[in-house]
């Protein structure tokens, strides 16, 4: 189902969670999301920063934005495409 209502992005907070949980939670969120939804994944597990992007692309999502601060906290915004 297409996101028609321009709803704000859902936040998936995986701060303090290590591999593989950030990936698992993002997968669950993408499966529940509609086409056109935005998701923001926020975490601090270093390896997961790259793996989240790899996984999102595999699930046909688009990486819209990614940032990482000096404390290692990263934020990835993705557009769900179904």
Local structure of residue 35 (DSSP, 8 states):
B
Whether 40 and 79 have beta carbons less than 8 Å apart is answered as no
Among 9, 17, 20, 66, binds other proteins (CB under 8 A): 20
What tokens does 20 get? 């593989």
Rule CB under 8 A: is residue 43 a binding residue for other proteins? no
Among 50, 62, 72, 81, binds other proteins (CB under 8 A): 50
Distance CA(6)–CA(46), nearest Å, equals 31
Among 10, 40, 42, 59, binds other proteins (CB under 8 A): 59
Neighbours of 36 (CB within 10 A): 16
What tokens does 10 get? 């859902």
Rule CB under 8 A: is residue 58 a binding residue for other proteins? yes
Give min distance, CB of 46 to other proteins, in A: 8
Contact positions toward other proteins, by CB under 8 A? Answer: 19-20, 23-24, 27, 47, 50-51, 54-55, 58-60
């Amino acid at each position: 189902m297409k996101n028609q209502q321009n709803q704000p992005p859902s936040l998936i907070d995986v701060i303090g969670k290590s591999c593989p949980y950030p990936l698992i939670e993002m997968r669950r969120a993408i499966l529940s999301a509609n086409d056109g939804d935005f998701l923001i994944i926020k975490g601090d597990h270093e390896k997961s920063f790259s793996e989240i992007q790899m996984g999102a692309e595999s699930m046909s999502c688009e990486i819209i934005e990614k940032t990482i601060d000096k404390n290692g906290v990263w934020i990835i915004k993705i557009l769900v495409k179904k």
